[in-house]
Chains A and B, each alone.
Chain A
Amino acid sequence: MATIEIEARKFEVDGDGFLSTPEIWDDDVATLFAKYDGIDEMNEKHWAIVRFIRKHYEEKGNAPMIRNLCRETGIKLREIYELFPLGPARGACKVAGLPKPDGCV
Chain B
Amino acid sequence: MEHLSTHTIEKGLEILRKFDDGRFLTSINSCVHCGLCADSCMYYVSMKENAFIPAKKVALIESIYKRYYTFTGRTFPKLIHAKELNGETTAELIDLFYGACTLCGRCNIHCAIGVDIAYLVSIGRAMLAEMGLTPPTLQSTVDAALTSGNNMRIATDDFVETLKWLEEELRDEVNDPDASIPLNEKDRNLLYTLNPREPKFFPLSISAMAKIFYAARESWTISTHMYDVTNYAFFTGNLNEARIIAQRMLDEVKKLNCRELILAECGHGERAFRWEAPNYLQTNFDFPVRTSVELLAQYIASGRIKVDKTLMKEKVTLHDPCNLVRSGGIIQEQRYILSKTVTDFVEMNPHGADNLCCGGGGGQLSMSEYNERRMKIGELKAEQIKKTGASVVVSPCHNCVDQLLQLNSYYKLRVKIKTLAELVAEALVLE
Contact = CB atoms under 8 A, between A and B. Distances in A.
B151 A102 contact: yes
Interface string B195-222: 1110111111000000000000000000
A66 B201 CA distance: 5
B178 interface: no
B122 interface: no
A89 B216 CA distance: 33
B144 interface: yes
B195 to A, nearest CB: 6
B91 interface: no
A62 B201 CA distance: 13
A67 B402 contact: no
Given A102-B144, A102-B366, A89 B201 contact: yes
B141 A103 contact: yes
A89 B152 CA distance: 12
A88 interface: yes
Given A15-B369, A67-B165, A90-B406, A105 B197 contact: yes
Q: How large is the interface on A (under 10, 10 to 19, 20 to 34, 35 or more residues)?
A: 20 to 34
A104 B405 contact: no
A74 interface: no
B202 to A, nearest CB: 7
Contacts of B195: 103-104
Nearest to B200: A65
Nearest to A68: B158
A38 B368 contact: no
Interface string A78-89: 100000011111
Contacts of A77: 203-204
B351 interface: no
Contacts of B371: 15-17
A102 B369 contact: no
Mostly, the A contact residues are loop
A12 interface: no
B140 interface: yes
Interface string B111-153: 0000000000000000000000000000011001000000111
Contacts of B240: none
B275 interface: no
Interface string B349-391: 0000000000000000111111110000000000000000000
B339 interface: no
Contact of A67 (B162, B366, B368, B372): B162
B400 to A, nearest CB: 9
Interface string B226-268: 0000100000000000000000000000000000000000100
B359 to A, nearest CB: 14
Interface string A2-16: 000000000000111
A24 to B, nearest CB: 19
B202 A87 contact: yes
A100 B151 CA distance: 13
A77 B204 CA distance: 9
Find the residue from B153, B201, B203, B372 having the highest chain A CB count within 10 A.
B201
Interface string A25-40: 0000000000001100
Given A65-B199, A101-B152, A103-B196, A86 B405 contact: yes
A96 B402 CA distance: 19
A87 B398 CA distance: 13
B161 A67 contact: yes
Nearest to A101: B152
Interface in B150-187: 151-154, 158, 161-162, 165
B368 A87 contact: no
Given A66-B202, A100-B368, A86 B197 contact: no
Given A86-B405, A105-B402, 13 more contacts: A17-B371, A63-B200, A65-B161, A65-B199, A66-B200, A66-B201, A67-B162, A88-B201, A90-B402, A103-B230, A103-B366, A104-B398, A105-B201
29 contacts: A14-B369, A15-B367, A15-B370, A16-B371, A18-B368, A38-B409, A63-B201, A65-B154, A67-B161, A67-B199, A86-B406, A86-B409, A87-B202, A88-B202, A89-B200, A90-B405, A100-B368, A101-B200, A102-B366, A103-B141, A103-B151, A103-B195, A103-B200, A104-B196, A104-B365, A104-B398, A104-B399, A105-B201, A105-B365
Interface of A: 14-18, 37-38, 62-63, 65-68, 71, 77-78, 85-90, 100-105
